Amino acid sequence: MQWCAAAPATPHTGKKGHAKRPPTLLIARPNGQNESRGALYADGMSTPPSPDRVARRPVPHAEAARAGRSWWDGAAEAYYYEHGGFLGDASLVWGPEGWTEEDLSLLGTVRGLDVLEVGAGAAQGGRWCSTQGARVVSTDVSAGMLAVARRIDTDAAAAAGASGMEGHRSLSYVQCDGGVLPFEAEAFDVVFSAHGVLAFVPGATDVLRGWARVLRTGGRCVFSVPHPMRWAFPDVPGPEGLQVTHSYFDRRPYVEETSAGLVTYSEHHRTLGDLVRAVVAAGLVVVDLVEPPWPEGLEHTWGGWSRLRGELFPGTLIVVCTKSGPRVRPDVN
């Protein structure tokens, strides 16, 4: 699960109002003092790069996927440091509002099923499905994020061994573009993604067709994305984030790039109608559209998500769909 949020001291803010750079890490020292340093990027830089400019323009899938891979490789450690406590290591959290699969039960019973997590990040959602008895493959475009996932598994196994308790069931990991899945047709009973892939690449219909291809007939596909209406507002949590500053109908991607035009990050917007049409065009059937409310009493900020905004309009959309046809009853023994 990969949601965009960061809170550096001097974030780059474009027209969309995003603050994309990973947070500064505080490294604990034995003498009790903390040393501040930036997240280490894949290119060896000790501080995250800022884009030279923000643009609104089309981005081909391959370029968006490359940029996403580089960005998440660089942000992986800082992202987990900042948000790992909120996400947990074995919980399927559908969005920054904090609603979990245990709360919403959108996947249905997964025991005995083959489950694919796309855009897994550190595979917290896949790990939860594994604890429920599913056979899980978690994928991500970023080697850095999957390295964090494997470290969580290693630490959990070590802790379990030291205590004599059973640790997390092992997951299978595959690094791949979430829009070009390297699996055979009808390999999985469930495909899900919590804020992964779709917001970061163009061609939602093509991506969803790929997910539908690997989904068995009668299977369930569930994915969460930033709620489309958020596109019209600055991506900031305070009062300034309550004023419409951009057209909801402007589908041009938000792009951060270098002066040479190299994309370093992109986000891609679809209206609610666009998403429904993409699902249908992919051969899937919409079962539910879930707009989770802000939980009562939750004091929490994640990028542009906050109690102030969350109590007025939705921040996350969860789409629940199925692949038409009879579902084969799984062996749950």
- Residue 133's pLDDT band, with cuts at 50, 70 and 90, is very high
Pick the closest to residue 174 from 131, 206, 145 (CA basis): 145
Residues in a beta bridge with 263: 257
What are the residues whose beta carbons fall under 8 Å from the beta carbon of 103, sequence distance 6 or more? none
Residue 168, pLDDT score: 58
Question: Tokens at residue 136, please?
Answer: 């899980």
Question: Tokens at residue 301, please?
Answer: 């900020």
The dihedral through the CA atoms of 86, 92, 95, 100 has a sign that is negative
Chain-centroid distance of CA 321 in Å reads: 18
First to last CA, the chain: 30
Residue 121, pLDDT score: 97
Residue 161, pLDDT score: 75
Average pLDDT over all residues of the chain = 85
Residue 49, pLDDT score: 55
- Residue 285's pLDDT band, with cuts at 50, 70 and 90, is very high
Q: Are 18 and 254 in contact (CB under 8 A)?
A: yes
pLDDT tens digit sequence for 184-214: 999 999 999 999 999 999 999 999 999 999 9
Residue 265 pLDDT exceeds 50? yes
Lowest mean pLDDT among 123-137, 138-152, 159-173, 274-288: 159-173
Q: What is the pTM of this model?
A: 0.85
Residue 276 pLDDT exceeds 70? yes
Residue 50 pLDDT exceeds 70? no
Residue 39, pLDDT score: 37
pLDDT tens digit sequence for 74-113: 999 999 999 999 999 999 999 999 999 999 999 999 999 9
Residue 5 pLDDT exceeds 60? no
Between 73 and 10, residue with greater pLDDT: 73
Residue 10 pLDDT exceeds 60? no
Query: Beta 316-323 vs 284-290: how paired, if at all?
Result: antiparallel
Q: Are 140 and 121 in contact (CB under 8 A)?
A: yes
Residue 268 pLDDT exceeds 90? yes
The angle subtended at Cα 73 by Cα 67 and Cα 77, nearest 5°, is: 145
pLDDT tens digit sequence for 154-184: 998 888 776 655 655 679 999 999 999 999 9
Count of helices and strands (H, E) across the chain: 7, 12
Q: Are 233 and 239 in contact (CB under 8 A)?
A: no
pLDDT tens digit sequence for 208-260: 999 999 999 999 999 999 999 999 999 999 999 999 999 999 999 999 999 99
Between 189 and 324, residue with greater pLDDT: 189
